[in-house]
Amino acid sequence: MALVLLSLDLFGQEQLAAAKCDTTVVRSEQLYLDVALDFDFDNTEYTGSNLGTSETLFGISLAPVLRYEWNKKHSLGVGVNMQKMFGSVRFLDDIDLVAYYQFNNGRYGAVAGLFRRDKLIGRYSEAIFSSAWLADNRMVQGLALQYSDAAGFAELSVDWNGLYSEATRERFRILFSGEGHFAKVMYAGAAASMQHYANRSTFEGNVVDDIVINPYLGVAFKAFFDFDIRLGYLQSLQRDRCTESGWQAPMGGELFFRMSRWGVFISNNLYVGKNLQPLYYSIGREGTIYGADLYTADPFYGTTHGIYNRTSIGYERTFWRERVKVKAEVALKTDGKRLYNQQVIALGVNLAPKLYDKATKRTK
């Protein structure tokens, strides 16, 4: 946490100094209506497995946000993020406020407030966030500091996603992701997640620390097909202060391979190592297992057979200057004992029509 505060302090001092030197007035103003629509279908057939349930997640989310931008670096956004699960009897299953400030000068960036997760630029293994969890949790409540250029990127973010109250546990997560490219086709990076999973106001002494560190080395090149091959190491550090069981440190290796052309792809993700979710079936002071409330990763990283493999074939492509993204995928998964399958269909649409431009004094 001290690292986050230091980063914020340095960032704030730099921007304050720049502001003192800048005596110009606002040079340009634009008003946009950002509209994001996401359609997600995720069907899992895990019968016979203790690592996940057979279910179908089928829903849509819509996020209209009014965004005011000035000097091409600063913006304020206000709107809502709405989610509806198909078949639900409720009009809306979830609605969240979107309200944020963002700075971006092309290299340095910062965003603070309540904003959609697609503003993050980091790369995270499904040992940290599963695709199903991301589809159901699109909001970040906190801040992110970012840097990016042609050579790579770095990001530090804080997501405060649990208020200390009778209804919810106090919970927050600090994330880091950084990556650099070298030798034309190679890249190296690291991601880290530190989750503080604490108490409700109705009980004490049930804090869980959950840390995952993931350095990796990869190569991406074109040889008729587009290839992406990445080797990573996963180190977890976990402690349940409720049971005073001490730190557990399961670890493993991950090998990712993807080959694609014309949007059609074949990929394989192999994990070999220990169970990265040793506290999944632990019972806290609420009287229920921690389960998916603690772990946001794909549950198959909790394999007790030393191996998890996911092989998939599908189609993924963007259209209309990346405003529309489609994905369809069929995957076979194994925990080293049995085969299971998963089908995924996703559609994302992002539009940002300009409503007003100060330069022309009219709507465009």
> What is the tens place of the pLDDT at every residue in 127-142?
999 999 999 999 999 9
Q: Is residue 21 part of a domain?
A: no
CA nearest to 213, candidates 146, 145, 125, 280: 125
User: Which range marks the domain in which residue 44 is found?
Assistant: 30-357
How many C-beta atoms surround the C-beta of residue 111 within 10 A? 22
What pLDDT is recorded for position 6? 42
25 is a domain residue: no
- Specify if 2 maps to a domain: no
pLDDT higher than threshold 70 for residue 53: yes
Least confident of 9-23, 112-126, 238-252: 9-23
Any idea what the CATH number is for the domain that residue 250 is in?
Answer: 2.40.160.10
Give the Cα separation of 364 and 362 in Å (integer). Answer: 6
Residue where the block lists tokens 């057939």:
45
Tell me if 347 is assigned to some domain. Answer: yes
The contacts of residue 295 (CB under 8 Å, 6+ apart) are 210, 277, 280, 302
Instruction: Answer yes or no: is 20 within a domain.
Output: no
Q: Please list, in sequence order, all residues whose beta carbon lies within 8 angstroms of the beta carbon of residue 16, skipping any fewer than 6 positions away.
A: none
* 23 occurs within a structural domain: no
| First-to-final CA distance of the chain | 44
Tell me the pLDDT band of 15, cut-offs 50, 70 and 90: low
Question: Considering its fold, how many domains does the chain have in total?
Answer: 1
CB-count burial class (<10 Å; 0-12, 13-18, 19+) for 169: buried
User: Considering the domain boundaries, does residue 351 fall inside one?
Assistant: yes
Single pTM value for the model: 0.88
Q: What is the pLDDT of residues 60-89, one digit of tens each?
A: 999 999 999 999 999 999 999 999 999 999
Position 362 in a domain: no
